[in-house]
Amino acid sequence: MSTPTDRKPSRPSGTPPEGNGKFLLGMIGLFFGVLLLGAGATMWLGGSSSMGPAIGGPFALTDTGGKPFTDKDLRGSYAVLYFGYTFCPDVCPTTLNQLAEALDRLGPKAKLVRPVFITIDPRRDTPGVMKQYVQAFSPDLIGLTGTEAQIGSVAREFRVYYAPHRTGDGPNDYTMDHSSVLYLIGPDGKFIAPLRADAGAEQIAADLSRHLP
């Protein structure tokens, strides 16, 4: 399965000489385009949540008990959302563990925040699989799955990129590519800020406490 980054910029090998000017112009355009994109992403991670289209929104998912769970079930507390999958033994558990440690560092304020893990691999991550997975981290960690459509919808709302990558011929021979960001949501359900997922527990705790009362 091909992902956007798998594609190499292709140009016919026999490009005529008169095409070079256009090609150069195109490259310059591309360069500034990438620059703009980079600046946008930097500002976005810098916490300027007021910029650009809204992030987040209503969702309808399924909890680890197989019961419906919507965005309204999080109202009244802060929530930190992380999108990943349980068949990931490296980045996802590292992030969830650092989030748990960050909450520990917050002391009594930690009870204001509910950590939520949303799978982007609903095919394998059934409520039962999610239950076993989140229980091993913390009794407070909420695990959510859903139909492909439900997961697609919540991922779109939060600008989460995800795509399967085949590693073999078997039905389960794939890994998931996914963006890795922590999303802080307020008690009113509105998105507050993205937090760096790879910053370490101490930094995540510092980032969180800036937004907590």
Interface ranges with other proteins (CB under 8 A): 5, 41, 86-91, 93-98, 100, 129, 132-133, 136-137, 161, 165, 167, 172, 175-181, 198
Minimum distance of other proteins from residue 152's CB (angstroms): 17
Minimum distance of other proteins from residue 82's CB (angstroms): 11
Pairing of strands 181-185, 78-84: antiparallel
Minimum distance of other proteins from residue 53's CB (angstroms): 18
> Nearest-CA neighbor of 184 among 101, 86, 74?
74
Q: How far is CA 108 from the centre of its chain?
A: 27
Minimum distance of other proteins from residue 36's CB (angstroms): 15
Closer by beta carbon to other proteins, 24 or else 136 = 136
Minimum distance of other proteins from residue 168's CB (angstroms): 8
Closer by beta carbon to other proteins, 96 or else 144 = 96
Pairing of strands 181-185, 191-196: antiparallel
Closer by beta carbon to other proteins, 5 or else 13 = 5
Specify the amino acid at residue 79.
A
Closer by beta carbon to other proteins, 61 or else 181 = 181
Euclidean distance between CA atoms 86 and 74, whole angstroms: 22
Q: What is the CA radius of gyration of the chain?
A: 20
Closer by beta carbon to other proteins, 22 or else 165 = 165
Closer by beta carbon to other proteins, 9 or else 12 = 9
Euclidean distance between CA atoms 188 and 77, whole angstroms: 8
Q: CA distances (Å), 31 to each of 25, 28, 34, 35, 211, in order?
A: 10, 5, 5, 6, 36
Residue with the two structure tokens 């359900």: 189
Q: CA distances (Å), 183 to each of 8, 34, 136, in order?
A: 31, 24, 22
Minimum distance of other proteins from residue 177's CB (angstroms): 5
